[in-house]
Structure 1
Amino acid sequence: MKTRNTVSALLLLAGLVTGAQARAEDAPGRHGWDLTVEANTDFPLSVGGRLGVESPWRLRLSTSLGYLPAAYVGLVNDVAVGLDAYGRNEADLIENALRNSLVWRTHVGWRPFAGAGLYVEGGYGLVALGGEVSAEDVLASLIGIEPPEGEEALNREYRVRSVLHMLDVEVGWRWGLGAGWTARTALGAAFTLDSNTRVEPRFQPSQPLLVNIFSRLAEGELDRTFERYVHLPVLSFSIGYAF
């Protein structure tokens, strides 16, 4: 009887030790829902904020909202013109239409390794609400289209609004800084798939048909320029807090 009790006690002790080891091994790999709020910049696309969610299976969803600073567009244009990617006219056109635009990006992704911050994401980007008032002669010289004749030369201005639909991809890494704080950096690219531009006169035309033709031709030329040239490498930096 004593021997049987001793064996039972040893078996119980072994089970407790094994269970404790299993719990100790499981703990580091345990992962629940993760919500992160970040201050973020996606150079040269936007400066703003980002909200990210990661599931227990390390599937990720993020959305960000920001604005496109004029300085970002100007720097990209200077580099592109210097490399002969496109000319100064195209650079000025892009800068006039897109600076200070609203930028919204939504991505889905995956963090493949439980013990590492490496992740991959892809998704949709929208650049919208940009646009400046442009004098007719400036707009005509940028797009290479003759303005309509027979109008009063003063106060012939047009408002240009553009919306770009983009495909985004990125590879990044997130660090835990302690006490819930995080840092993230990523390298990616944004490709313009489609552009919708609206050119609207800010004067009362005496020949509406000619002005309408000029506006539609300008819209087509702007859309072709954006779809051809606005494809950007994107470098992202974020500081955030995880809940």
Structure 2
Amino acid sequence: MKSRSGMGALLLAGLLAGVEARAEEEKDGHGWDITVEANTDFPLSVGGRLGVESPWRLRLSTSLGYLPAAYVRAVNDIAVELGAYGRNQADLIENALKNSLVWRTHVGWRPFPGAGLYVEGGYGLVALGGETNAEDVLAVLTGIEPPFGESVLNREYRVRSVLHMLDVELGWRWGLGAGWTARTALGAAFTLDSNSRVEPQFEPGLPVLVNAFSRLAEGQLDRTFEKYVHLPVLSLSIGYAF
């Protein structure tokens, strides 16, 4: 009987030690953490985000969303009001970027075990947006003379751009209980490189002139993005941690 009582005591002590170790592990932030979030990175995207944190509090996140036209318009209105750039540049940026796909991937670190503060940085891609513009509108927005002598009427061009961006972010994550989380962050996104395409949506009678106009318009688009599209970013998320 004493032997069985001793074994029971040992088992109980082992269980208590395991529970204590698990509690200490959670307190210190050890263990893998996977979080799925619905998020917005204003004024860049609305979408979803997947985050992973290692036992050493190293972080990796990736998000996928789209760039609403309303976000671009809001930033442009503020920039024009402040005199950062003109209405033509604002309209050019909106026409080329609205409804784009936005992909962001970051690496980072949560420096303090008992706090939700974290820092991250990484790469952002904005692509597959834009719209079709009439030639006269595109000429006004870019300041480039349209091809003279082209016989096709109602000439339109598809305008699309791909932006490669550098992202930085400082944020805080809260545990809301039962696995639910909230997160907010303030950061910035800087355009490092732009690749634009201006494609005629008609069969040109003077292809050399039309192509020259398209290439000049692409160059003007790229210069506009690389000069002006550097944005503060406010992130808000609600998620669930596994």
Q: Does the pair score TM above 0.5? A: yes
Spell out, residue by residue over 1:25-67, the C-alpha distance to the aligned partner (whole angstroms, 9 max, x if none).
8342252100000000000000000000000000000000000
Q: Quick one: distance in 1 between partners of 2:125 and 2:29?
A: 36
Spell out, residue by residue over 1:65-123, the C-alpha distance to the aligned partner (whole angstroms, 9 max, x if none).
00000000000000000000000000000011110000000000000000000000000
Which moved further from structure 2: 161-170 or 22-31? 22-31
**Displacement, 1:195?**
0.1
**Displacement, 1:23?**
4.4
Query: Which of 2, 8, 24 is the equivalent residue of 1:26?
Result: 24
Tell me the secondary structure at the aligned position of residue 146 of structure 1: coil
Q: Which residue matches 1:206?
A: 205
Q: Quick one: distance in 1 between partners of 2:21 and 2:60?
A: 30
Contact 2:29 2:57 (8 Å CA) reproduced: no
Q: Quick one: distance in 1 between partners of 2:197 and 2:86?
A: 23
Q: Which residue matches 1:37?
A: 36
Contact 2:133 2:156 (8 Å CA) reproduced: yes
Q: Which residue matches 2:7?
A: none
Q: Quick one: distance in 1 between partners of 2:197 and 2:100?
A: 14
Q: Which residue matches 2:134?
A: 135
Q: Which residue matches 1:197?
A: 196
Q: Quick one: distance in 2 between partners of 1:30 and 1:98?
A: 40
Q: Quick one: distance in 1 between partners of 2:22 and 2:209?
A: 77
Q: Which residue matches 1:125?
A: 124
Q: Which residue matches 2:104?
A: 105
| Structure 1 residues 117 and 153: alpha-carbon distance in aligned structure 2, compared to 1, 3 A threshold | same
* Paired letter, 1:130: G
* Paired letter, 1:167: L
Q: Which residue matches 2:182?
A: 183
Tell me the secondary structure at the aligned position of residue 174 of structure 1: strand
Q: Quick one: distance in 1 between partners of 2:174 and 2:181?
A: 6
Give the TM-score normalised by structure 2: 0.90
* Paired letter, 2:117: L
Q: Which residue matches 1:67?
A: 66
| Structure 1 residues 199 and 133: alpha-carbon distance in aligned structure 2, compared to 1, 3 A threshold | same
Spell out, residue by residue over 1:188-223, the C-alpha distance to the aligned partner (whole angstroms, 9 max, x if none).
000000000000000000110000100000000000
Q: Which residue matches 1:82?
A: 81
What percentage of aligned pairs have identical amino acids? 83
Tell me the secondary structure at the aligned position of residue 66 of structure 2: strand
Contact 2:152 2:204 (8 Å CA) reproduced: no
Equivalenced residues, count: 226
**Displacement, 1:149?**
1.2
The runs of 5 or more residues in structure 1 that have no matched partner are 1-15
- Cα RMSD between the aligned structures? 1.6
* Paired letter, 1:202: Q
Q: Quick one: distance in 2 between partners of 1:169 and 1:188?
A: 5
